[in-house]
Structure formats: structure tokens, C-alpha cells
């Protein structure tokens, strides 16, 4: 009988499973609570747990064959999954004519992020989400941000190298998912990708160099439909890959997909949509117009350019308060991801170790060497603090300028949707304390998790979703912050760790 080790909060519990038993049923029968609106039928994809060395999976569709270690979602993650379910747009299952390519057709939705790649496998006849996988984007070896990758792609064989790397990474995950589900390439008939425009250009091997300098014109923003095999992907000979549309060079299909995934509700007239990834993409939705922009926040909140920074992976410190830390995957701490970094900065501000200008004298040790997973101390430096200031000022300034263009105050905002993996773990109060998010939306912030992935899933399951994205594009007005005369002043004013208000 396989052993199932379950990590929840500070406990570690060992269970015995029957070979082939549903993981969801095993956990439920032993009193573990999992959010599952569909009751374990496999249609909602919300009963997610993390299996060490494997990834995030839908527990009701996972059969235990070998001994595994399971990390249960914490309260915050469960709350995000609840928000995703209650706020996600509902569309009838209409995957399109590609399902006729084989008797048992499957599809994969992808979020191609600068730092992280996320994959969702779906049974296109039932709409069941079978598997979710994620990995770090291996293109980081060529640069942590989109500008450095654009520059690399402009040099000799750089573009081809980066295309090969991303295609190989996607194919590695396709192989794992097909093998786990007992399928072959022929079963995969449809792929959909959302992502920032640079990542989509690199996926197709299209030269992105025109986005690296003013006036930042991409080669395409429209929906791209290509043969999956021509794109180098493992799939049915007739399969297609659809790249969802973007707004501009740096407001990509990840933002559009996220906006389109949100269910429309009465009483929600003005709201902010904030994705705190590498690009810092922002949107302000009003009844008549959607204002959007991208800020050069850099990859700080993804763990890059920080002395002990790492992505939101196992071993990353995701939460910090004096005397207590939370580590992703219940591992020994190996570094600090973005949410943990915000918590540490807020703590040091409270203690006066960092002053409001951002000055800190010397390093601050978060974890001593003997307690870390690397044998080295985990710490932040004064330069790390400066990097956070630059990133949070870019985000805050972008939000303020969107508000000014729309002619609304923070008091007019009905809610703020926080998207992206960083938002999964972010302590909202600490984000407000540092001036990253506005104080006036306290109590109105809703974390949506990977909204881009949710949008890509909707596009995979319903061809009508592209019409929804087209209607959003028609209402959208893009602001290029590099051309905005107010941006340099706002950026300078928001460098300090003061509260973000209407009068910032």
C-alpha cells in the first residue's frame, strides 16, 4: 500500500492508500478539507494540492499508485480558489471543430510568463481539468526581464536559441502530461497560449527587436493561429495553437485573458486589475473605457535581482513575521520570493531598521545558516531594499496616472483584482504599508491567482471567448508611460515608503 505523507500547517501526517485510490477521496475520508464546488467530479479543477517533485494536481482526478508527499493549500490559497470559482465567467463547452481530429480529444492551455510557465490539460469532450503543471521559464538564462531577452534575440542566433528553449520546455511538460494520462500525441488537438507579447513572439520565432526601442511597435497584437507541429510542438498532425490577442508591446494577452475571465456583476463600475509580474501590467476598468499601461517594475517581485531572491517555488519564504516564517512546500528556506520580501520590508519599516526614505544600515539576516536549506544565511541587503523601492514606485506611479487619465479617485474604486502568482501569497496590509497598493482600497482587494491561466482555459473550452476579448480590446485605451510627462515626477515622489493615496 502506497504511503501518502500530508503536510498541513505545521503538521506532517502519514496515511496509507489503496493502489489506484482517488487522492481526493483519501484526503476527504481522513478529515482534510478541500475546496471542491463540483463535489469531486473533476469539472471545476479547484481541489488543487501540491505533490512534491510533481507539481500542482487536481486531487479528484489523481490516482495514488506510488508513495507521495502532499502539501495542502493554506487558508489564503483556499480563499483565492474560492474567488476564482465565484468570480470566473461561465461559458458553455464549445471547444470547436478540432475535437473531430480523434476519438478522445484533449487540449492544453498555457500561461507563458517571463518567469513561470503554467500548463493545464483538459478533456475537451467533458471540459474536465485533468492536470496542472508549472515550471520556471528556462529563458531566464538569457535575461530576467523582457528587454534583456529582446536584446539577446536581436543578436545573431539568439532568437532561434530562445525559441528552441521555450518549445523544448513546453514539449517536456506535454510529454509528462500525456504519459501520466496514458495518451499519445494524436490525442492533443488544441493548444491555447496567453502571455506577454515578447514571450509570444519568442514562442513563434518572430523577431521582437521592434519592441525594444521607441515607439515600441510589436510585429503582431492580433490573435495568432498556427499549426501546432509547425510551431515545433508535440501534438496531432492537424492540431492548432492559438495565441490570444494583446493590446500593445507590453500589455499582453495575459492581461486581456485575465480581464475577460472575470464575471460581470452589477455594482462593479470602476475597478483596478493589477498583475504584479515582471512587467507590472495595470488596467483601470470604467463603464466607458478600459485604461491600461505597463510599468517597468522589473523581476524583483519574481525573486530576481535580490541577493537571496528566488521565484515562488519550493523552499521560498512566502510569508514573514517576527519569530515566524512560511515556506512554500514546507521545506527548509532556500531564499525569498516576492511576497516574503514585501513582508520583510514592512517588518523592518515597523521596527525603524528601514527609514521612510529606504535607508538601511547593513544587511538583515532572515534565516541563519544552520536553519536554511542551503547551509548559508538568507538575508536582504540595502541594495535589495533599493530594488524594491524602484519596483513598487513604478507600480504605484502607473496606478496614479491611470486614475488621473480616467478622472476618478481611489474612493470611486469598487474593488482591486490582484492577479499573478505573486498575488497568491501577498499580504495586502504589508503591501499598503510599503506604498505598493493604495490604502483606500483596504477591504476591497481580491486575489484571483493565475487569472491569465483561467482566461486561457476559457479560450480552450469555448471558441466564443475570443469574441469577449475582442469587445474588451475595442474599449481599451493604452497609455505609454515613457511618453507621459507626469511619470518621472510621480516615480520620484513614490520612491519613499509612504502610503499611496489620491494625493501621492
Altogether, the residues listed in the chain come to a count of 504
Whether 435 and 496 have beta carbons less than 8 Å apart is answered as yes
Write down the pLDDT at residue 197. Answer: 93
Phi-psi region of 358 (alpha: psi -120 to 50; beta: other; left: phi over 0): left
* Cα 430 from Cα 433, distance rounded (Å): 5
Whether 116 and 172 have beta carbons less than 8 Å apart is answered as no
CA-to-CA separations, 458 to 95, 108, 468, in angstroms, rounded: 9, 11, 11
* Cα 208 from Cα 268, distance rounded (Å): 37
Q: Which of 222, 221, 218, 200 is nearest to 209 (CA)?
A: 218
The backbone torsions φ and ψ at residue 73, rounded to the nearest 5 degrees and listed phi first, read -70, 145
Ordered by where they begin, the domains of the chain are 3-73 (3.10.20.740), 308-380 (no CATH)
Query: What pLDDT tens digit does each residue of the chain (504 aa) get?
Result: 888 999 887 678 889 988 888 898 898 888 887 767 677 777 666 777 888 877 777 888 888 888 988 888 765 555 555 555 578 898 999 999 999 999 999 999 999 988 888 899 999 999 988 888 888 889 988 887 888 899 999 887 999 999 999 999 999 999 989 998 899 999 999 999 999 999 999 999 999 999 888 788 999 999 999 999 999 999 999 999 999 999 988 899 999 999 999 988 887 889 999 988 767 899 999 999 999 998 877 678 877 788 998 877 778 898 898 878 888 877 889 999 888 999 999 999 999 999 999 999 999 999 999 999 889 999 999 999 999 999 999 999 999 999 999 999 988 999 999 987 677 678 999 999 999 998 889 899 988 878 899 999 999 999 999 999 999 999 999 998 888 888 899 999 999 998 776 544
Site of grid cell 508611460: 481
Write down the pLDDT at residue 77. Answer: 54
Point out which residues pair with 120 in neighbouring strands: 109, 132
Write down the pLDDT at residue 246. Answer: 94
Write a three-state SS string for 388-457. HHHHHHHHHHHHHHHHHHHCCCHHHCCEEEEECHHHHHCCHHHHHHCCCCEHHHCCCEEEEECHHHHHHH
Q: How many CB atoms lie within 10 A of CB 97?
A: 9
DSSP string, 34-69: ---TTSSSSSS---EEEETTTEEEEGGG-EE-S-EE
Whether 481 and 295 have beta carbons less than 8 Å apart is answered as yes
Amino acid at each position: 500500500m502506497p504511503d501518502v505523507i500530508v503536510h498541513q500547517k505545521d503538521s506532517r501526517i502519514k496515511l496509507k492508500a489503496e493502489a489506484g485510490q482517488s487522492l481526493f477521496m483519501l484526503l476527504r475520508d481522513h478529515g482534510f478539507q478541500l475546496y471542491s464546488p463540483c463535489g469531486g467530479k473533476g469539472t471545476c479543477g479547484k481541489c488543487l494540492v501540491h505533490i512534491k517533485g510533481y507539481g500542482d494536481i487536481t486531487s479528484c482526478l489523481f490516482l495514488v499508485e506510488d508513495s507521495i508527499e502532499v502539501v495542502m493549500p493554506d487558508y489564503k490559497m483556499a480563499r483565492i480558489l474560492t474567488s476564482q470559482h465565484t468570480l470566473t465567467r461561465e461559458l458553455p463547452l464549445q471547444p470547436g471543430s478540432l475535437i473531430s481530429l480523434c476519438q478522445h480529444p484533449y487540449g492544453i492551455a498555457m500561461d507563458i510568463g517571463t518567469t513561470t510557465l503554467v500548463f493545464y490539460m483538459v478533456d475537451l469532450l467533458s471540459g474536465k481539468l485533468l492536470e496542472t503543471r508549472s515550471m520556471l521559464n528556462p529563458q531566464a538564462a538569457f535575461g530576467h526581464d523582457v528587454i534583456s531577452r529582446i536584446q539577446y534575440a536581436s543578436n545573431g542566433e539568439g532568437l532561434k536559441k530562445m525559441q528552441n528553449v521555450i518549445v523544448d520546455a513546453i514539449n517536456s511538460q506535454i510529454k509528462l502530461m500525456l504519459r501520466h494520462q496514458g495518451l499519445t500525441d494524436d490525442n492533443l488537438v488544441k493548444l491555447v497560449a496567453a502571455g506577454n507579447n515578447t514571450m509570444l513572439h519568442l514562442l513563434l520565432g518572430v523577431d521582437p527587436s521592434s519592441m525594444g526601442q521607441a515607439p515600441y511597435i510589436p510585429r503582431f497584437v492580433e490573435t495568432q493561429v498556427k499549426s501546432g507541429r509547425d510551431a515545433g510542438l508535440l501534438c496531432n498532425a492537424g492540431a492548432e495553437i492559438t495565441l490570444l490577442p494583446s493590446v500593445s508591446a507590453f500589455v499582453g494577452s495575459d492581461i486581456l485573458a485575465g480581464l475577460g475571465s472575470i464575471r460581470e456583476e452589477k455594482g462593479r463600475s470602476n475597478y483596478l486589475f493589477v498583475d504584479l509580474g515582471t512587467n507590472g501590467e495595470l488596467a483601470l476598468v470604467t463603464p466607458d473605457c478600459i485604461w491600461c499601461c505597463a510599468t517597468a517594475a522589473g523581476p524583483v517581485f519574481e525573486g530576481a535581482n535580490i541577493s537571496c531572491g528566488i521565484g515562488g517555488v519550493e523552499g521560498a519564504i512566502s510569508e514573514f513575521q517576527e519569530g515566524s516564517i512560511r515556506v512554500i512546500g514546507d521545506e527548509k528556506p532556500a531564499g525569498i520570493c516576492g511576497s516574503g520580501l514585501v513582508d520583510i520590508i514592512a517588518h523592518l519599516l515597523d521596527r525603524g531598521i528601514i527609514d521612510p526614505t529606504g535607508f538601511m544600515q547593513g544587511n538583515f539576516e532572515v534565516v541563519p545558516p544552520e536553519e536554511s536549506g542551503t547551509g548559508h544565511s538568507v538575508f536582504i541587503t540595502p541594495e535589495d531594499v533599493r530594488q524594491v523601492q524602484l519596483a513598487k514606485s513604478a507600480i504605484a506611479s502607473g496606478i496614479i496616472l491611470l486614475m488621473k487619465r480616467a478622472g476618478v479617485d481611489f474612493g470611486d474604486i469598487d474593488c482591486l483584482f490582484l492577479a499573478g502568482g505573486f498575488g497568491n501569497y501577498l499580504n495586502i496590509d504589508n503591501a499598503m504599508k510599503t506604498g505598493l497598493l493604495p490604502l483606500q482600497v483596504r477591504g476591497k482587494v481580491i486575489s484571483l491567482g493565475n487569472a491569465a491561466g483561467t482566461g486561457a482555459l476559457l479560450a480552450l473550452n469555448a471558441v466564443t471567448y475570443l469574441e469577449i476579448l475582442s469587445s474588451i480590446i475595442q474599449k481599451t485605451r493604452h497609455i505609454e508611460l515613457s511618453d507621459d510627462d507626469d511619470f518621472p515626477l510621480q516615480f520620484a515622489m513614490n520612491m519613499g515608503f509612504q502610503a499611496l493615496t489620491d494625493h501621492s
